[in-house]
Amino acid sequence: MRALRVGDGLDPATQMGPSVSAGQLETVQKYVEIGRQEGATLACGGHALTAGAHAKGFFHEPRIFGDVDPSMRIAQEEIFGPVVSVMRCASFEEAVAIGNNVQYGLSASIYTQDINRAFAAMRDLYTGIFYVNAPTIGAEVHLPFGGTKATGNGHREAGTAALDVFSEWKSIYVDFSGRLQRAQIDVADV
């Protein structure tokens, strides 16, 4: 984590860009303090970067908290910043329960070589987006994007599914026979 290059998001050498605004940087810093107060163990990082190349922007070191209890705010709330909460679990089932026991459900990810576990996680984790052996970033624009539970409004705003968000379906039937049909079924002439 310490080796990540934090900097200008337009620079190809950068691995992590800035927060979107001063307000979001303050939110990240607030959650870092919440994590400390809740008793999580600081593994690394967590300071605002304000000097040199980071003087013009809203940069924050990535932070990893260990010994996080699933009930802590840093495990339950959407921080939208470089803060990772590491939680121990005894089984796959417990990991799924931890993942589902939050009020948000944008995306989830599993890293595994066990295809059965991957498919079980896809089925059991209640999220709008799911990744296997990939991070929960970089959603594809041609696929639906959206979450479940308290994440977003339930719409899938991307790809062809976006048309449903901004459209209302209308069913149209056209009979070109030139004669009266009964209840949209062909009947034999009597």
Element (H, E) at 104: strand 104-105
At residue 149's C-alpha, the angle toward residues 146 and 151, to 5°, is 45
Residue 140 structural domain? 89-190
CA dist 47 → 30, 63, 64, 188 (Å): 11, 8, 12, 81
- Same domain assignment for residues 122 and 71: no
- Same domain assignment for residues 108 and 188: yes
Prediction pTM value: 0.75
Domain boundary, last residue among 88, 121, 141: 88
Q: pLDDT tens digits for the chain (190 residues)?
A: 888 999 999 999 999 999 999 999 999 999 999 999 999 998 988 788 999 999 999 999 999 999 999 999 999 999 999 999 999 999 999 999 999 999 998 889 999 999 999 999 999 999 988 999 998 877 777 777 778 888 866 667 677 777 776 777 777 777 777 777 766 565 565 5
CATH of residue 30's domain is 3.40.309.10
DSSP 8-class letter at 148: E
Domain count for the chain: 2
- Same domain assignment for residues 71 and 100: no
Please, which residues bridge with residue 60 across strands?
48
Residue where the block lists tokens 């996080």: 68
- Same domain assignment for residues 71 and 113: no
